[in-house]
Amino acid sequence: MTDPNPSLENTTVAAILAQRSREDSSELLEDLVATLVETVPGAQVQRALITRHVKRVRVPLAGYVYQLKRGSNGAFEASRLQEVRGVVVRTVPMEIDAFLAEFGLALDEELRRTEQGRQALRAWMDSSSK
């Protein structure tokens, strides 16, 4: 039996991301950006000019830059970038499920590191469970 109100201690960001990508992938970027912008230093968001929907999010975590883009057909394009002094030296395209698992673990670790991150994680988990 699953707990309808998961606790911060026994739920990971990776699990929530995987669940949300299956349920409502069109809103995944929007929800993710709301949490990331306020809590992860260096997170960058690119929005469409007219609709203001998120087109791309880049997040530096654990020595990499994780990038998730929404293609023109609405599909996600995920990749892990290795940057050296601001220059991308390697881009690794990833399947969305593998990307969400790896990114989720790195994000989970980063958010749990600070009180502000833990509060943001708790708020995001609460909004994700509704």
Q: Does residue 4 surpass a pLDDT of 80?
A: no
On whether residue 8 sits in a domain, the answer given is no
Dist CA 86 CA 60 (whole Å)? 11
How many percent of the chain have pLDDT more than 70? 69
On whether residue 4 sits in a domain, the answer given is no
Per the rule left: phi > 0, alpha: psi between -120 and 50, beta: everything else, 52 is left
Could you read off the pLDDT of 31-58 as tens digits, one per residue? Answer: 677 777 777 888 898 888 888 788 888 9
Dist CA 118 CA 49 (whole Å)? 32
Dist CA 106 CA 67 (whole Å)? 13
Dist CA 124 CA 38 (whole Å)? 12
pLDDT of residue 80: 96
Give start and end residues of each alpha helix (H) in the chain. 13-23, 25-39, 96-113, 115-128
On whether residue 28 sits in a domain, the answer given is yes
The residue range of the domain holding 104 is: 13-124
On whether residue 69 sits in a domain, the answer given is yes
Stronger pLDDT, 66 or 129, i.e. the higher one: 66
On whether residue 99 sits in a domain, the answer given is yes
Count of the separate structural domains present in the chain: 1
**Burial (CB count <10 Å: 0-12, 13-18, 19+), residue 112:** middle
Band (pLDDT 50/70/90 cuts) for residue 90 is very high
CB neighbour burial string for 27-57, b if at least 16 within 10 angstroms, e if fewer: ebbebbbbbbeebbeebebeeeeeeeebbbb
Dist CA 87 CA 77 (whole Å)? 20
Could you read off the pLDDT of 6-26 as tens digits, one per residue? Answer: 444 445 666 666 566 555 555
On whether residue 3 sits in a domain, the answer given is no
On whether residue 40 sits in a domain, the answer given is yes
